[in-house]
Structure 1
């Protein structure tokens, strides 16, 4: 499904000419993922799968469809969702409501809402209703923070804000715009995570730890607020993307909009300053730059580029060097993590497979996890960052 302009651009690579830049890295990344069948609502064995990674890619494909009018993107989104949503709106693909109480699957919820708004098919609304029902009974800390998963009692992870609360906001916007309690709750999810994971003033770079255990029972929980010991780039990236995406949805008349804006405006310059000054990229473990074993990680870097560029474009952030920082990081990404293949697709490098607080949350843990080629968490983030970067032209 490589676009004509992209194929023409890539063809120069095989004709002895100076390698040409692709017409659009966003299209190249998306088309490459589609050509490999990534994010298609199926697992590696061909069985239906509800996956937050698929939801992340679907968000990028939606933006590309709106930008290009290429219906192939819309069709791929719909085909993927139709593999996990039955004709009566039942969500299959491993989704467990009361048995699992995970926030991760809900990341596909914005796609359900999008398809309902575009097609009017009731099954997508029914599926979204099920996710919304989950939030009604989802376990919470005594402060009101959603647990990341049932198996992690009283733990809030930055990841969960992106997984659950963008959907929560979109559903409220679409069907319950006057539900003040829901808007208050969405604001509280962001605020509680921020308050419980923010590094102390004496702990640069003054960003957010990966998560916290409100019960202080996890082995990694700090004495003060129960936070984990390190700032992991992708967790912070999820949170930053959630901020800029939710601000698009959150009513400006509600005080929560200004509260989210304040968090974003506090974090964005700190994210900018945490980038490596030479490469412009961000370290896997941001709290320990340059330490042996640490490295520049691609998914978090792409997420920061997306959040910074979108934040400035939408007027949520003053530039203050944010665009220059994002451009520098983007150039590093395309020079070091994008590899052209002979078949016209691209590979994406250096995305860490996973980061969890299931263990001890140490530097040694994060740096021990392997990286993958074409990991969708990073590739989709690169497509999103490329969409924003290409808006600068």
Structure 2
């Protein structure tokens, strides 16, 4: 396969180092984690005898000594990909008891949330559903540390849900600047936080209303974005049919983007962590999950076990086997099997995908640092410059290594396999 035409962004150690140095001058000086310093004396920053989950987390901590640097941020930024890696860090801390992993999470919260509860770079008035995902980090930190500033920040994030603009049927707009649009991405950005917050803080009728609202978001996705022929879901839907990318009859965007589908699967399997066992919507979510995984398996590459950037166009020019979506599909399936949502028959597809990631997309530097390659950096719809959702658009977006939208799901998938 020829990847020459892709805009591949190579991050050298020199560039990354200078970026980190610049970022660190804007906050307090950051020390490398103790484990990384000790290991580096032997020539290995990341020991080869650890499990893949911990190897990837240590590699991320080496690349990004402060968690706000994840996603190659040069200054503290409230950024949704950070939360995925930190979810992995939380689970590895619970597994190993290594306090350095907890401190990595804790420093992020302490840096990003001011004493008055205001969140650095967060603007409630934008009603951007992406901004809710990092709330999961604060829910964990508040549970552990009971800092009042985290509670205030959480209440602000929860208030965004109350004010979030909606479609005529109650579906959350992706952002205020994207009117009448539901994106698959938004289900992951909003619903696990919504469910997690509801479990921790809401009771009685308030909780029931919230859980029903969450189920409605998934119902609307299934109603409006599902392709009944393939079982795949389109990236987005415009109720108004006004966007240039939207089909004038259906309102749908034109393609099945791997990561959008990945977000949706992760949304379902993570929301179920916080959903009451006796809620009637729970069985519905599991049924959606099964039909979703059945559709994903049909477009899994037979040779490698991976998935293409545009899912149903594997043989077309420029398409490529992409790391973030592949990691998300593997995580969704193996977690679904472990939790009993899917039968063990699905495990072989998750295993094939995971083996494909390690064989084809993972490289290990001489110092032990692990890299996840061939990640789509970003893709969306609309905006300026305008993103039209065409096949050519998706396959020509920037590709890079170690995007947290891939490393995070890879850590989470690895943890599921290591159970």
- Whether these two folds match at TM > 0.5 is yes
Would you say 1:351 and 2:375 are equivalent positions?
yes
Aligned residues of 1:38 and 1:376 also touching (Cα < 8 A):
no
Higher relative contact order by CA 8 Å / sep ≥ 6: 1 or 2? Answer: 2
Q: Detail structure 1 runs of 4+ shifted over 3 Å in the superposition.
A: 1-4, 10-13, 42-46
Q: Distance in 2 between matches of 1:332 and 1:46?
A: 32
Would you say 1:298 and 2:360 are equivalent positions?
no
Measured after TM superposition, the shift of residue 46 of structure 1 is: 4.5
**Equivalent residue in structure 2 for 1:117, among 121, 139, 143:** 143
**Equivalent residue in structure 2 for 1:364, among 392, 401, 408:** 392
Would you say 1:142 and 2:177 are equivalent positions?
no
Aligned residues of 2:44 and 2:366 also touching (Cα < 8 A):
no
Structure 1 segments unaligned to the other structure (5+ residues): 14-19
Would you say 1:156 and 2:182 are equivalent positions?
yes
Q: Which residue does 1:232 correspond to in 2?
A: 257
Measured after TM superposition, the shift of residue 27 of structure 1 is: 0.5
Structure 2 segments unaligned to the other structure (5+ residues): 1-32
Q: Distance in 2 between matches of 1:336 and 1:361?
A: 27
Cα distance change, pair 141–12 in 1 and its aligned pair in 2 (3 A):
closer
Deviation larger for 166-175 or 271-280: 271-280
Q: Which residue does 1:25 correspond to in 2?
A: 52
Measured after TM superposition, the shift of residue 53 of structure 1 is: 0.8
User: Aligned residue pairs: how many?
Assistant: 378
TM-score of the aligned structures, taking structure 1 as reference length = 0.91
Deviations 1:304-352 (A, max 9, x none): 11000000100111122x2111111111111121111123211210000
Measured after TM superposition, the shift of residue 106 of structure 1 is: 0.8
Q: Which residue does 2:306 correspond to in 1?
A: 281
Cα distance change, pair 35–169 in 1 and its aligned pair in 2 (3 A):
same
Would you say 1:327 and 2:351 are equivalent positions?
yes
Aligned residues of 2:376 and 2:398 also touching (Cα < 8 A):
yes
TM-score of the aligned structures, taking structure 2 as reference length = 0.86
Deviations 1:4-44 (A, max 9, x none): 9x969x9799xxxxxx9643111011011011116612485
Q: Distance in 2 between matches of 1:355 and 1:73?
A: 30
Q: Secondary structure at the match of 1:88?
A: coil
Q: Distance in 2 between matches of 1:324 and 1:12?
A: 33
RMSD across aligned C-alpha pairs, in angstroms? 2.2
Q: What does 1:1-393 correspond to in 2, within 5 Å? A: 1=33, 22-37=49-64, 40-42=67-69, 46-92=74-120, 94-98=121-125, 100-178=126-204, 179-201=207-229, 204=230, 206-320=231-345, 322-358=346-382, 359-391=387-419
